[in-house]
Structure 1
């Protein structure tokens, strides 16, 4: 009967999914269940050759030893979670329960260890930890964990600390004008730049929609100042190599002690906003200007320039006796009419074939994207309607609305002629520049279809023989 019970017990052990092993009082492995081979790749002989401190992950070995000592001391089962090395080298998380084994005299002779694979559970726990501590979009620490870190610093020793606050300029403009996918990419780019500026152990968090914070304990004022300068240089370097969607980041910093951490944070935040206000008041600074500079870097295959187009429309404006303010607004239109192209994929802008329907629609959306960007940008919001309608044709075959005749704003009809002339007489990567005379003939040929015929007549009368000399 005892033999029968023993066979029955062995049959159960050999078919268990859980790992079962027997260890004697000297720490030698005397038995392992067949599940060891399935889960960890070992048979008894191969496992016996591996020292325990190599089989168990180095970070977990001390905890495993403590569990075994607890069983020896209390002679009661104890539980521990450790990583065990698979025969091929990777680790598997197991939950192990150590049971004391006794001889016939009641003396402890070893342990029975029952373990189960908890790798998937650990992955889920890590995922939940990531969600509780990290920002899902950027991979940096989130606001909640940032507050916890601040609290730990407050409660610790009173040491020097630096705080850097960074704010991504124009995020709302990009979200509204181009879309949240573009805005999300800006935030990812900002996070990437910040991460590259510091060591892996530096505490960097996304603390708001467009705001990031860096905590630098044990840092001098000189080191924090240098770190802020490093960020600003990294942004410039990024914009020089990634022209499609440039970044503008306002940076503020302050230094104090952990005992006054809240005041240090507020000072850094205030300095960041001062920098943002200072930059926004600088002549020529705006996110719109940044985007236009990026567009010009993308369109390197042309010898045309925004300055030339502005000059041309100024000359035609004078012929039409427009006011100085109207001419200045037309110069803005010349500068920003294609700002919406930042939302058009490169594969469409630089394709070397005739557009298919999907590509044509993607290209035509640039006027609507530009309209949204202009509406959200101080200084050009009043020309947003012109940006929207600058591709309308006189015969109603343009876009986006198919307006015709005088339904099209007068300024757009003026701009259409000058823009077409500039495009024809500028070199492109796919063709040489056309002559002044050929361009004039093209305008006349398309009068009444693409262009306002009366405005074409005035343009030709003024410039038919020779366009004034330019420096562009």
Structure 2
């Protein structure tokens, strides 16, 4: 349970994380690396599932590109402790991308690497530097280009707002008695991970851009507005007392949860604090604003996330009508089986809801795979199998769906332990997940899908019997056939 918890934390990180072991020869000289763990962001950045990265050596991973392997070895060859916070920007030819790399030596011969795609930033900076060289003889133009380069270093690449560097600079500049009272507002966009997981990073970026536009429109022209984290924003306002700050907060809240961006609700949490005299510390002002923001987030986040789950499901059903029909049939079959197994009425309702939501994670699967006619290949199947984990992440973000999230995670586990994603076996699999597995399999067999042929009711029952005790709970399978399908159990 603890390992699963930590894995979720790493996967939710907005930064790519690689944990690798340095392989040294008999003389202690580094010659290769073994990838021991990567998070979801790395899968996206390197365009490979973790199963095609973890366990490989760097020489195997870069087998078609010796130049990238040599650069990897050059950057990470030191087997000793690495200076925390060291940062480098490297170009990996294999991916035609620039990456910012922060390294930490956890212990000798092991390295934790934080990976961020900075291709856009490098492109802009290189372009400006090239222009500077071109205009080197024109002092006025050069000065203008240098100013552009300076501004770029203080700006968030996505939103155009300030970044942490600008905030730190402005905070030090404004923290003077002549500027008191100084108001600090902290804002956090709710559900960004849910948006990224459910609809992709483009959807999450759209939420951030919309919120940035709201801040620019509502805040005074001289306000310092900075995006300082994935979903975190800070606003500094000089000569602004609590009354003015409250008026701004109220204006921002008047738009809160009332805007939809690509089928997602834009919702955010806000908190503020005011510095009125020199004896107050800006760090304490920051903490107070943060505490108020988190209180606001705790009050409103659950409702927003529940609404977002509804929108994600509606979006999936809108894109794929067959999934809507499939979900409804699985819900009905699951409720029927739960009733026949003696579940109490409130639990039967819960099972029906789980049936309706069981494939919500497919919203994050590539359209080409979901729409493909005929059999999917092994790599497409690996991608498709992510939908149960993705569905779990989406639903686990809402307190009301926490229990259902666990059922969704396990609905492709098998009685014999050969299912996914955890390889649970027999009674280790939640009862509701065992019900969903039967209902989904039967509906998939008896209704035309893009990747298999439609079976008759008798053919499907024969398959259920053949797989009882292997794929399905044998007792549940028998009850399903005899009491739900009203057919005799084949002898």
TM range (shorter): 0.5 to 0.7
**Correspondence 1:298 to 2:298:** no
- Contact 1:93–1:122 under 8 Å retained in 2: no
Cα displacement (A) at 1:147: 3.3
Partner of 1:363: 384
Unmatched tracts of structure 2, length 5 or more: 1-130
- Contact 2:327–2:358 under 8 Å retained in 1: no
Unmatched tracts of structure 1, length 5 or more: 1-89, 96-114, 467-472
Alignment of 1:317-332 (within 5 A): 317-322=338-343, 327=348, 330-331=351-352
Structure 2: distance between partners of 1:251 and 1:158:
23
Partner of 1:211: 232
Partner of 2:71: none
Structure 1: distance between partners of 2:272 and 2:266:
19
Alignment of 1:341-360 (within 5 A): 341-351=362-372, 354-360=375-381
Cα displacement (A) at 1:334: 2.9
Partner of 2:462: 445
Alignment of 1:453-468 (within 5 A): 454-464=475-485
Cα displacement (A) at 1:212: 0.6
- Contact 2:312–2:360 under 8 Å retained in 1: no
Partner of 1:250: 269
**Correspondence 1:127 to 2:149:** yes
Partner of 1:196: 213
Distance 1:160-1:423 versus aligned 2 partners, 3 A rule: farther
Partner of 1:111: none
Cα displacement (A) at 1:353: 5.7
Q: Output one character per residue of 1:145-197: Cα deviation in whole Å (capped at 9) or x when no partner.
A: 2133234444375577765421133557788xx59x95x65763343112321
**Correspondence 1:314 to 2:330:** no
- Contact 2:183–2:275 under 8 Å retained in 1: yes
Partner of 2:248: 224
Distance 1:345-1:164 versus aligned 2 partners, 3 A rule: farther
Structure 2: distance between partners of 1:142 and 1:420:
50
Pick aligned residue for 2:171 from 141, 150, 160: 150
Structure 2: distance between partners of 1:452 and 1:462:
15
Partner of 2:300: 279
Structure 2: distance between partners of 1:397 and 1:144:
50
Structure 2: distance between partners of 1:388 and 1:360:
17
Q: Output one character per residue of 1:326-379: Cα deviation in whole Å (capped at 9) or x when no partner.
A: 657645643553343343233433445643443222111222444566677756
Structure 2: distance between partners of 1:407 and 1:223:
54
Structure 1: distance between partners of 2:411 and 2:232:
36
- Contact 1:288–1:339 under 8 Å retained in 2: no
* SS, match of residue 446 in structure 1: helix
Cα displacement (A) at 1:318: 2.0
Greater Rg, structure 1 or structure 2? Answer: 1
Distance 1:189-1:252 versus aligned 2 partners, 3 A rule: farther
Cα displacement (A) at 1:232: 1.8
- Contact 1:162–1:215 under 8 Å retained in 2: yes
Structure 2: distance between partners of 1:464 and 1:332:
20
- Contact 2:263–2:311 under 8 Å retained in 1: no
Cα displacement (A) at 1:228: 0.9
Structure 2: distance between partners of 1:411 and 1:269:
40
Pick aligned residue for 2:412 from 383, 391, 406: 391
- Contact 1:158–1:258 under 8 Å retained in 2: no
Q: How many residues align?
A: 339
TM-score, length-scaled by structure 2: 0.52
Pick aligned residue for 2:260 from 213, 237, 245: 237
Cα displacement (A) at 1:250: 1.8
Partner of 1:140: 161
Cα displacement (A) at 1:390: 1.6
Structure 2: distance between partners of 1:209 and 1:294:
21
Distance 1:458-1:91 versus aligned 2 partners, 3 A rule: closer
TM-score, length-scaled by structure 1: 0.54
- Contact 2:273–2:288 under 8 Å retained in 1: yes
* SS, match of residue 298 in structure 1: helix
- Contact 2:365–2:387 under 8 Å retained in 1: yes
* SS, match of residue 412 in structure 1: helix
Cα displacement (A) at 1:297: 1.5
Structure 2: distance between partners of 1:386 and 1:359:
24
